[in-house]
């Protein structure tokens, strides 16, 4: 996988309208790892794509009621089978971090890339997901050199007390060690 003009080659492109421009002269310096599944713990459906593209039928499941009118996105979504879906060009600001702070800087959406892993805080992620995440991360780090291993974190790290993902089931040690080999 390579990145050309902010697009991950080989990823399924599913453009979201839930993005805007980054502030001028803002470097991309942070990678944020998230998790998502809709309904929680259910995989291999299109509800996440529908949510990020503004097409979620909130009557399809009782847990979706709170998502009515929500406008969120991520740059990438990595399914359990390792399929990569891109919703927002890396050069643009996806709406994944919400109220957030990293190293004293607020509004992390301004200077970050957000990757959603299909999963939950408590279910192990698939080996294929990790391998794909590692490959994607290496490409992102090549294209955006201000993203170092020290500038990769979880949503829980930039929004503590508000967010818990990617959760204790995410193997940070394996992931980070794989990046520095």
Active-site residues, by number, are 116
d(CA 172, CA 23): 30
- In this structure, the number of other CB atoms found within 10 A of the CB of residue 21 comes to 9
Q: Are the CB atoms for 82 and 132 separated by under 8 Å?
A: yes
For CA atoms 36, 40, 41, 45, the dihedral sign is negative
Cα–Cα distance, 120 to 122 (Å, whole number) = 5
Residue in the structure block whose two tokens are 């009557």:
59
Closest among 153, 155, 152 to 164, alpha carbons compared: 155
């Amino acid at each position: 996988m390579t990145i050309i003009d902010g697009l991950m080659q080989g990823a399924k492109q599913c453009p979201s309208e839930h993005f805007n421009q980054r502030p001028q002269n803002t470097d991309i310096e942070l990678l944020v790892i998230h998790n998502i599944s809709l309904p929680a713990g259910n995989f291999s459906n299109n509800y996440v794509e529908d949510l990020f593209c503004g097409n979620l039928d909130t009557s399809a499941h009782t847990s979706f009621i709170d998502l009515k009118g929500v406008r969120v996105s991520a740059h990438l979504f990595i399914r359990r089978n390792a399929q990569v879906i891109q919703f927002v060009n890396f050069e643009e600001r996806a709406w994944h971090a919400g109220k957030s702070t990293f190293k004293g800087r607020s509004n992390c959406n301004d200077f970050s890339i957000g990757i959603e892993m299909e999963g939950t805080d408590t279910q192990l992620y698939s080996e294929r997901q990790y391998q794909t995440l590692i490959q994607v991360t290496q490409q992102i780090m090549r294209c955006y050199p201000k993203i170092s291993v020290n500038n990769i974190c979880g949503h829980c790290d930039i929004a503590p007390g508000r967010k818990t993902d990617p959760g204790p089931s995410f193997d940070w040690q394996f992931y980070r060690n794989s990046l520095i080999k």
